[in-house]
Amino acid sequence: MPRAGVGTGLRMAALFAGLVAAHPAPAAAPDAVYVNARVWTAAGDERAEGLVVQGGRLGYVGAAGEARRRGAGLAVVDLGGHFVMPGLIDGHMHPLEGGQKLMKCSLEYLRLTVAQMQERIQKCLDASRSQEPDGWLEVVAWFREAMIPRDAVTNLATLDALRTARPIIVASSFGHSALINTRALQLARLDAHTPDPPGGHIDHDAHGAPTGILEDTAYERMLKLPPPPTPAQDETAVRLALAALAAQGVTSFLDAEADEQTISAFARVQRSGGLTARAHFAAVVQPEEAAHPAAAVARVQKLKDAYDQGPTRPPPGLQVRNIKLFLDGVISAPEFTGAMLEPYFVNAGTPAAPRWVAGSNRGPPVYFPQPQLEAVMLALARAGFEPHMHADGDRAVRAGLDAVRALRREFPQERVRAAIAHDEAVDPADFPRFAQLGAIPVLSFQWEKRAPDSIDNEEDYLGPVRFRITEPAGYLARAGARIAFGSDWPVDPLNEWFALKVGVTRENEPAAGEKYRGRLGEDPGLSVLQVLTAITANAAYELHAESEVGTLEAGKFADFVVLDRDPFAIAPAQLADVKVLRTVIGGRTVYAARQFPPRSSTH
């Protein structure tokens, strides 16, 4: 059965395809002298005016006159006084999924009532009637945490009311839950007696029947039922994702949940000359694999042997050197799958007169038992892999830090990098442990704002003490942590510059409305220098790539971006308005804005 690919997602795919056609990469020679620039190298306080690019590397970074002298005979590109900085490095995202979502029926991350949600899905069904009665409809970008009203109920009946016989799966934008209809439930053979899989949950009603809501690994297993995309569809998704990344200035990324389907799609695009970012992949190790570390190592090693391309070169390539471990889910309502040290709060009053008190639910157990987590991490580290853990709740964060402590008994941080992603709730006692253990917090700055998912679905449930310090980027930085950035795209729309703005201001955009104005919590936030370092030098360190990328220094790869303004010379709120004019990787321009035709000459 063919996959459905209809609705607003197709319009977004067409938009990015048009972006590639409208802004083709200029055929500039890889070897060139770039002058008349304001260069932030990200190497301390160093600034420069010119770059010499030779063989895909930076031959010189410094004064413009000296750049011209050292690059005598090369093409000269006059950047018109624009700001230059290292290419952005996104330390946690899901690019193939991001590209696929541009091709699917999308709820576009909108705040919706149940009726509005049904209306949008019905439009997708109506636009693909040829798929009746058996073609799956996959719906993406459902902002479940922002439904209107906040206690809106979604279950099997929500989708069963639609005019279709097709199986439907609606995926939450957070990537940890889904809603299915009765037809999909039947195809999945889920009933009142189906046990929860390790690291997942099948929601049931008061009578024991499945409600249609699936959490974490229960949702992931559901994704195996629709027919997989064809290789051609995957390659289209990769190209769409790469075009979006290049337009944002991203030159390196970590796919934080990769499988062979994902990596092979990027490999095929690379073979056709279409890879425009350095691709790092983290292979997932599931909780049930931890009981047999040797088998887990053998499986991941096989993937590395097939796709890892060894030492990096100026042209972008593929690296398979990370492993992904999910320790919990998400701390937001209605999931409550983040593992917490203390219980979530519950309303002991009424909706009109709420009285929030500590309940009994601390979320699920950490998905990996601690001894198994430490054993599998050590086994993988001995095989040359570096751990990248998902931890949202403070109990999961502590488990991750304890595992890194065990890792450090054998491996110093310079040999094995260990990352803990998200860290939305962290106990203050654990703030200094990141620096002490060399654990890298990989944070999605765009979450550090007042928004429906934080104000409506976390504030009351976390309680006032925990909520005041939620999303603790500033506290972690003050405690000496080396913070890296990861967008987690497509959990949110891809907008790196908005995320950087939020990382400094901890404020939403004004259009979000009065309820969501002002700063989030008491965390001091980060400086412009800190957020830009997080998405360049620190993310390079996270990926063990700092010897080649992350700063603009002689000998490193010529990965850089040209911006329409100096981020250090504008109000932090204006970071969201920064536009990328040119993206260069290994000396090759992979994106150029139409409004930016740099002047070139030779001498």
Q: Provide DSSP, 532-571.
A: HHHTTHHHHHHTT-TTTSSS--TTSB--EEEESS-GGGS-
Task: Report how far Cα 228 is from the mean position of its chain's Cα atoms.
Answer: 22
Backbone angles phi, psi at 569, to 5 degrees: -110, 10
Q: Are 198 and 240 in contact (CB under 8 A)?
A: no
Average pLDDT of the residues in 547-552: 98
Q: Residues 412-425: what's their mean pLDDT?
A: 97
| Average pLDDT for 366-378 | 97
Q: Which of 92, 107, 98 is nearest to 137 (CA)?
A: 107
Arithmetic mean of pLDDT, 216-232:
89
- Measure the CA–CA gap between 287 and 285, rounded to whole angstroms: 7
Give residue-wise pLDDT tens across range 495-533: 999 999 999 999 999 888 899 999 999 999 999 999 999
DSSP state of 334: T
Question: Kindly report the CA angle at 379 between 373 and 382, in degrees rounded to 5?
Answer: 135
The answer, yes or no, to whether residue 13 has pLDDT greater than 70, is: no
pLDDT at 597 > cutoff 90: no
Strands 484-485 and 439-443: parallel
Q: Who wins on pLDDT, 10 or 511?
A: 511
pLDDT in tens, 283-302: 999 999 999 999 999 999 99
Looking at residue 87, the DSSP 8-state letter turns out to be P
The token pair at 147 is: 């439904």
Percent of the chain with pLDDT over 90: 85
Give the residue-averaged pLDDT of 455-461: 91
Which contiguous run of DSSP H or E holds residue 183?
helix 182-188
What are the structural domains of the chain?
Answer: 20-82+559-602 (2.30.40.10), 97-222 (3.10.310.70), 327-482+505-521 (3.20.20.140)
DSSP, res 455: I
The pLDDT of 205-226, averaged and rounded, is 91
Tokens of 589: 């321009």
Provide φ and ψ at 138, rounded to 5°.
-105, 120
pLDDT for 352 beyond 80: yes
**What would the mean pLDDT of 139-153 be, rounded to a whole number?**
89
- Residues 575 and 525: their CA atoms lie apart, in Å, by 15
Q: At what angle do helices 231-248 and 8-22 cross, to 10 degrees?
A: 60
pLDDT bucket at 603, cuts 50 / 70 / 90: low
pLDDT, residue 77, reads: 94
CA atoms within 13 A on the CB side of 572: 18
**What integer pLDDT is reported at residue 69 of this predicted model?**
96
pLDDT digits (tens, 9 = 90+) for 188-210: 999 999 999 988 899 999 999 99
- Residue 423 pLDDT more than 60? yes
Q: Are 548 and 557 in contact (CB under 8 A)?
A: yes
Query: How confident is the model at residue 25, as a pLDDT?
Result: 42
Q: How far is CA 554 from CA 31, 89, 223, in A?
A: 14, 19, 46
Higher pLDDT, 150 or 105: 105
Q: What integer best gives the mean pLDDT of the chain?
A: 92
SS3 assignment, position 312: coil
Residue 603: C-alpha distances to residues 54, 61, 75, 284, 418 (Å): 16, 19, 7, 52, 48
Handedness of CA 310, 312, 315, 321 (dihedral sign): positive
Residue 10 has what pLDDT? 37
Burial of 479 (0-12, 13-18, 19+ CB in 10 A): middle
Q: How far apart are the C-alpha atoms of 571 and 139, rounded to whole Å?
A: 38
Q: What is the pLDDT of residues 43-81, one digit of tens each?
A: 988 899 999 999 999 999 999 999 999 999 999 999 999
Which residues are CB-contacts of 454 (< 8 A; sequence separation ≥ 6)?
447, 470, 471, 520
Q: Do the strands 32-35 and 75-78 form a parallel or antiparallel pair, or are they unpaired? A: parallel
Nearest to 453 by CA among 484, 401, 418, 488: 488
- d(C-alpha 96, C-alpha 324), whole Å: 16
Of the pLDDT bands very low, low, confident and very high (cuts 50, 70, 90), residue 22 is: very low
Rounded distance between C-alpha atoms, residue 473 and residue 424, angstroms: 9
| Confidence category of residue 3, pLDDT binned at 50, 70, 90 | very low
pLDDT 10s digits, 79-120: 999 999 999 999 999 999 999 988 899 999 899 999 999 999
Query: 442 phi and psi, to 5 degrees?
Result: -105, 105
**Bridge partners for 386 per DSSP:** 322
Instruction: Round to whole Å and give the CA distance between 158 and 179.
Output: 9
Q: What would the DSSP string read from start to end of 407-441?
A: HHTT--TTTS-EEEEE--S--GGGTTHHHHHTEEE
What distance in Å separates the CA atoms of residue 172 and residue 89, rounded to the nearest whole number?
Answer: 26
3-state SS class at 297: helix
Helix (H) or strand (E) holding 75: strand 75-78
Token digits of residue 283 = 């292979």
**Are 410 and 323 spatial neighbours (Cβ–Cβ below 8 Å)?**
no
pLDDT band for position 246 (cuts 50, 70, 90): very high
Question: 221 or 2: whose pLDDT is higher?
Answer: 221
- Whether the Cβ atoms of residue 170 and residue 142 lie closer than 8 Å to each other: yes
- CB under 8 Å to 4, separation ≥6 — which residues? 104, 105, 124, 128, 131, 135, 136, 137, 138
**Residue 308 burial (C-beta neighbours within 10 Å; 0-12, 13-18, 19+):** middle
